[in-house]
Structure formats: structure tokens, C-alpha cells
Structure 1
Amino acid sequence: MSKGIRDQVAVVGMGCTRFAEHWDKSTDDLLVEAAYDAFEDAGIEPTDVDAAWLGTMNSGFAGFTLAGPLKTNYIPVTRVENLCATGSEAFRNACYAVASGVFDVVLAVGVEKLKDSGYSGLTRPSPASDGTAPNITAPASFSFLAPAYFKKYGLDPKEGKKVLSRIAWKNHKNGALNTKAQYRKEVPIEQIENSPMVASPLGIMDCSGVADGAAAAIIVRTEDAHKYREDPMYVKALSIAAGPGDGRITQDFDFTSIQENIAASTAAYKEAGINNPREEIDMAEVHDCFTPTELVIYEDLGFSERGQGWKDVLNGDFDLSGRLPVNPDGGLKSFGHPIGASGLRMLYEMYLQFQGKAGRRQLDNPKIGLTHNLGGTPWQCVSFVSVVGKELS
């Protein structure tokens, strides 16, 4: 990345619905709830917003998906989609618009209404292809990561299963402290380890849930942030990488690393001035769609040395009390995964933590946070990384 927007924009308001099976709420209801929470938090009126970016995968078309329920007054509204990084993409574009100087106050919203749409983790629409792509489910595609990792690093599969189960256990333990999480109770590690098989070695408790929800952010230029609040969240870096899909046709791809993660994090670290993520990042929200995904992410993002992530899991390095807490809000696994909203939900947790408002899961004065999304398959995906901070550099 030749140029970035480090410390040029700030988040001055955020909102987030509970992620759940909202049979009694529509896409409009969820969007309005999250947006108005953000307006109230920033101390602004909807009429103060100059432009909006909406992220949704399947729950609406075009800008009027937001303009209608919010009754916006003919402002520009842009709808974006980038698989599971859709909410992050809305945030990224909104931040760039503010940094460009074109708009002063911008709204970014991510929303998804999945539970009554027929969507599940096993059935999903796929784009047209040349016929060479494997026709498998999402759990199956990510299940390949586990045996490949175990074999490469000499980990007995039974021990490996314990590592994966501990990742899920950690995220449920964190989610039990979060009133907005889809699943709000701890789950015994033995129950996780012995849960019904979905795609070996992944049991159902290794897989994130399907949920409805929305999250929103109000973004302004840094020099204007203190007009709205004394404790804004500053954007240090935004990076997204889209892969060409070579992984499924090359022998070099061994399912123990996702190149898009490396590309996105490398660019984000350069923009944010991060030289040692293990030491300089205080907390992270990562895309734990499946437990082996989180394990691989630790190493791709530099939180663990190659082949050492599993040991760090067992040592509790990524627990709330560990050296680098990961998914303090419960992650996709416990908070839920309404696709268009997940990226902004991750940023919402950073925002709460910086302000000391995370309740029983509050960390001790975090100053630098990271969020990470990926969407697609291990051999071809989009990967997003943000670095955000409590203070200006």
C-alpha cells in the first residue's frame, strides 16, 4: 500500500443489535435499531449524515435498502457486498469517503436477515464457474485445514481435536459474558469435543452459527471527532485482499495458511506502523467461522510463530486473561454470524473495549485492536484487516 489513512478518520458513534434468531424482526427493524443506536451514541440526528454505505449479502438490493427504513433525504447511499467481509467493506469505503474530504459525517451499516431466508452453513448460492471448482459445503472446505495442520506440525489428531475444542470453549466462555451474543452460556469442553460430526474432524460445535443482526458506525475526520465525544476510536489501517484462486490448482497450497490473510495483514501492519503484532496489538476479533480457521489465523497474522499456534491455544495465550485476547465478545462462534453485520460487530467490540464499556469481559486498558474477516474458501477468499486505536499516534 503506497498510501493509507492512518489517524485521518475516527469513529464517534456505534450501535449493534443482539445477534439471534429474530423471527419477529425484519431487515428494516434491525437496520433501524443499529443505526439509531449509533446516532444516539454520537449525539447526532439522522439528518446530520452526508452519505451512507450499506453492507449486506442477501438481505437487500441497492441503496434504498437503507434509504427506505431510515427515511434519508436523498443522500448518496451505496450498497456493497464482499462475502463475509461485507460489513468491513462498508466500513472501509465509508472511511475512505471521509478521509477524501468529500463528506463530513458518514454512516456505515451492516445488516443480514438469514434465519427465515433458507440460508444455512450447508446450503448457499455459488457464483457461476468454469466447472473445476469443488462443489462442497463451507464446513467441508475449512475442515481440510485441520488434518493438514496436524500432519505438517506433527500433532496427533486426538491432541489436535482438543486444541480445536479449546478454541470453541474459549469463545463460548467469552460469549457467556455478552448480553448481545447469540449463544450466551459456557459449553463444557467435553461436549464440544464430542459434538455430532459435520465434516470430519469438525463437529457441530466447531462451526459458527447462522444469525440475524445489524451493526452501525458514525465516521468523521479526526480533527472533528472531539466535537462529538472525548473518546473516539481512531482508524490506523484498513486493508483487504482478494485472491485469484490459485490455491485449488497449485501443489504449493498446503491448507496450513491462507495467503489472503498474509497479504491483508502485511499491508495493514505497514500502514499502522505495527512491527511486532504479538507485542503491539492488545486485542483482536478474528473470523472464527470454524475452529481450525482461527488456529490458522493466529499464525497468518503473526500472533503465533509457525507451527506454534496450537501450543499457544493450550497455554491460554488468547483467553481474556492471556497475552493477546482474541474474540473477547465471543466471536462468530458465540456472538453469531449475520454475514453483512459481522465485520462492524467486530469493530463495535473494539469501540466498547477502548471506552471501558465491555462489562464483565472488559480488558485492562487496551490501546490497539485488530479486526479480521475472511469470506470464501481457504484456497480463494477475500480477507480484511483493520487496526484501530484508542489514542492518536
Structure 2
Amino acid sequence: MATGIKDKVAILGMGCSKFGERWDADAEDLIVEAYEECIADAGVETSQIDAAWFSTAIEEVHVGKSGLPLSIALRLPNIPVTRVENYCASGTESFRGAVYAVASGAADIALACGVEKLKDTGYGGLPQRSRGAVNSMYWANASAPGSFAQLATAYSTKHGVSMDEIKRAMAQISVKSHENGAKNPKAHLQKVIDIDTVLNAPMVAAPLGLFDCCGVSDGAAAAIVTTPEIARSMGKHDLVSVKALQLAVSNGQEASHNSWDGSYFITTRKAAERAYKEAGIDKPRDQISMFECHDCFSVTELVTMEDLYISEEGEAWQDVLDGFYNADGQVPCQIDGGLKCFGHPIGASGLRMLYEMYNQVLGRAGDRQLENPTIGMTHNLGGFPHQNVSSIAIVGKHGL
């Protein structure tokens, strides 16, 4: 019987590049930037890495296919390099591959690295959408803002919350992320905004305005993992270990019939249930110290707060307005600025989230540092509300 991976794998080191419009660097430069910080933090040599996982989502416009770009950029010693892609969950997928390799005994030390370099295309958003057997027929003109905006109307209808109240809660989500991002020197956007600026911004897809949408960034992030025993033998103390890793993928149910009402993410709820079970968490609202969720749009964050079972169903909007998720609230969310402000280079985003959780647990988050966090969670969602992949990682102090 499967027992999960709780505390079987420790994070030796992590690194993250500066996110943003990185005209000064190509994808390989960003990889090296993140890796140099990561391997210095880990205290190992490149020759000690047994295997690597490399995540990038839209590789056609920057690094190209296969594991070669990572191996060449870092001059890895002819070890296995596996390229992974799973929409916006790609970064967490690379982490999952490295963690599972160590947990299984297939590797003593493994690397996960993700990168995306999209700003050079000159395109304002993502430069492609997924194809499929019937996608071109039944959602030929779908856009990401348009699809996610429908979450807000479905949520309003289901829970009897006025659109004005939902819009104000979404605005507070963006204000909170900007406040956090302003304290992060690696964030793409580092400017504080007020709620009136958000509410009066140009409309993108009603009710989502300009500040309800995250942008596209260039960036890379990396993690090196090993067993707790090896980490201790290297003199590491105060270990941060992996408590759970779960992934749930749509099976067509959401798009097939009206049993799904469009107000929540089935996959996130499934992944959260499995992750909490694996981590031994039964009261997430009380046991999770902080988390990063996939705030591609402010309404996505709002809905996800409930899908992660931190807010009660239909009450996340009120928790947001009450400051529950602020930096000084009970469960801070997006303490590094989130996708909204840190940025969203797709292949790196999951690792970037873990980078913040790791540094927070170790007390190394600078001006953003929370008071004694012990358990951090990250959530990625790739695709559309009706057809997506959702990944969850939980990390924290070893042994808790």
C-alpha cells in the first residue's frame, strides 16, 4: 500500500532568477542565474547530481525540445535529463520528478530546474493555445481572461454574493499581492497600488479588469533535493522536507455535462484532499502557515482559497476583505507577490513558489519574513476552468 513521501526527501538548496522583462538575458542565462544560487545554497558540486528534470511549457519560442538545453547550459556530467511539461504546473512537475527519484532510491541527489523566456516574442500574452480533437470547434475563440471571468459570475450566482462585493474582494487580492511584491527585489512588479486603482482600471473581460490579470514574465528557478540522511551527513540542520506532492487532471467531466456548475475547480479539490492526507493535515485553516496559489487571475485565487479548504465554501470573499490572507493575517497568501507581481514564466512558476516557502521556513525572506512559519503549500493550475491540471506541494520543517 502506498504510504506517500512525507519527510522522505529534503530540499538541499534553491535558487531563483530575477523575474521580469529580461531583455538582458536569454533562457540559458536565466537557467545559470537560478542554478548558481541553488548549488551554492545546496553546498554540492555539479558532479554530485545524479539526475535532473527540466520544465518549460512553450519551448518552441526559446530553448527548444528535449533535456539538452539544461544539460548544455549547466554542463551537466552526461546524466539523465528529463524534460517535462504540464501547462502552468510544469515547474512543480520537474520538482515532483526529482523528489520521486530520490524517494525511490533511484538518485541520491537530483535537480529540478524550470525556465520560460517569452517576452522576446513581443506578444502580450501567451503565444499559443492548446489544440485537440475538438477544441477548434467548440472553443475556437476562447481566451484565458474570458474563460476565467466566468468563474466570477458562476460564483456570484451559486453563493448569492453580489458582483460588487466579488469585484471588491478581487481588487483586495490584487492590492495585497502588490503590497507583498513591493518588498521582493526579484519580483517583476514592485509597485504598491490602492483598491480604487484596481476598481477603476480598464476592463479586460468583465468583471476582470487590468489589475485582476497576471502578466507574462521571463525567469528561471531551481531546486536540489536529497534524502534527510544525506543532508545531515553534509552538515545541514533545520531541514525543509517535502510533506506531499499531488497532481489531479481533468477527465472531461467538467466540459461534458452540467453536473459541474463552473464555480470551482474539481481538480484542485481532488489534489488538495490527497495532499492533506499524505501530509497528515486535517485542519488546513489552522495547520498551514502560508501558501502560494495560482493567481493567474484574481478570481482564480478567490475560488482556490475555498478549493484548498482554507475558507469555507462561499466565504472566501469575506475572508479576503477581513484581511485573513494578508501578510499580517492568519494564513498569508502570495507573500512573495504571487504570479500577479513576482511574475509567471510558466516553466519556472511552481519552483518559484517553492523557493519562497523554503526561504520563509528557513527565516531567510528578508522584508517579507513571516513569524515562525512551519508549513508552506504551493498550488498550480494549468489550462482553463473546464479543462485543467492542478498540482499541490506541501513543504515544511522536517519531522513536523
Q: TM-score range by the shorter chain?
A: over 0.9
1:122 touches 1:137 (CA, 8 Å); kept in 2? no
Distance in 2, matches of 1:21 and 1:4, equals 39
2:298 partner amino acid: T
1:4 paired residue number: 4
Distance in 1, matches of 2:236 and 2:38, equals 13
Distance in 1, matches of 2:192 and 2:250, equals 36
Secondary structure in structure 1 of the residue aligned to 2:121:
coil
Secondary structure in structure 1 of the residue aligned to 2:382:
strand
Question: Unaligned stretches of 5+ in structure 1?
Answer: none
1:311, distance to aligned residue in structure 2 (A) = 0.5
Structure-2 change in CA distance of 1:152 and 1:101 (3 Å) = same
Distance in 1, matches of 2:149 and 2:10, equals 38
Q: Is 1:85 the counterpart of 2:89 in the alignment? A: yes
1:386 paired residue number: 393
Residue 181 (structure 2) aligned to one of 164, 175, 180: 175
Distance in 1, matches of 2:300 and 2:354, equals 20
2:46 touches 2:77 (CA, 8 Å); kept in 1? no
1:175 partner amino acid: G
Identity of aligned residues (%): 51
Secondary structure in structure 2 of the residue aligned to 1:116:
helix
Equivalenced residues, count: 393
Counterparts in 2 of 1:251-330, with a 5 A limit? 251-330=258-337
Distance in 2, matches of 1:339 and 1:62, equals 17
1:12 touches 1:42 (CA, 8 Å); kept in 2? yes
Distance in 2, matches of 1:160 and 1:268, equals 28
Distance in 2, matches of 1:207 and 1:228, equals 43
1:164 paired residue number: 170
1:134 paired residue number: 139
Distance in 2, matches of 1:253 and 1:11, equals 38
1:231, distance to aligned residue in structure 2 (A) = 2.7
1:369 paired residue number: 376
Distance in 2, matches of 1:233 and 1:219, equals 10
1:105 paired residue number: 109
1:295, distance to aligned residue in structure 2 (A) = 0.5
1:9 touches 1:98 (CA, 8 Å); kept in 2? yes
2:65 paired residue number: 61
1:122 touches 1:139 (CA, 8 Å); kept in 2? no
1:154 paired residue number: 160
* Deviation per residue, 1:145-186 (Å, 9 max, x gap): 111111221222122111110011100111011010000111
Secondary structure in structure 2 of the residue aligned to 1:36:
helix
Residue 96 (structure 1) aligned to one of 87, 96, 100: 100
Distance in 2, matches of 1:314 and 1:255, equals 23
2:364 paired residue number: 357
2:54 touches 2:84 (CA, 8 Å); kept in 1? yes
TM-align CA RMSD? 1.3
Secondary structure in structure 2 of the residue aligned to 1:384:
strand
* Deviation per residue, 1:308-334 (Å, 9 max, x gap): 111100000000111110110000001
1:27 paired residue number: 27
1:115 partner amino acid: K
1:71, distance to aligned residue in structure 2 (A) = 0.9
State the TM-score, normalizing by the size of structure 2: 0.96
Distance in 1, matches of 2:389 and 2:246, equals 10
1:268 touches 1:385 (CA, 8 Å); kept in 2? yes
1:370 touches 1:387 (CA, 8 Å); kept in 2? yes
Distance in 2, matches of 1:328 and 1:198, equals 26
2:326 partner amino acid: D
1:313 partner amino acid: V
Distance in 2, matches of 1:244 and 1:94, equals 26
2:190 paired residue number: 184
1:144 paired residue number: 150
2:7 touches 2:398 (CA, 8 Å); kept in 1? no
Q: Is 1:37 the counterpart of 2:41 in the alignment? A: no
2:121 paired residue number: 117
1:385 partner amino acid: I
Q: Quick check: 305-314 or 242-251, which moved more?
A: 242-251
Counterparts in 2 of 1:185-200, with a 5 A limit? 185-200=191-206
2:57 partner amino acid: M
1:117, distance to aligned residue in structure 2 (A) = 2.8
2:268 partner amino acid: N
Question: Unaligned stretches of 5+ in structure 2?
Answer: none
Secondary structure in structure 2 of the residue aligned to 1:144:
helix
1:129, distance to aligned residue in structure 2 (A) = 2.6
Q: Quick check: 189-198 or 77-86, which moved more?
A: 189-198
2:160 partner amino acid: G
1:52 paired residue number: 52
Distance in 1, matches of 2:123 and 2:130, equals 12
* Deviation per residue, 1:87-112 (Å, 9 max, x gap): 00000010000111111111100100
1:121 touches 1:137 (CA, 8 Å); kept in 2? no
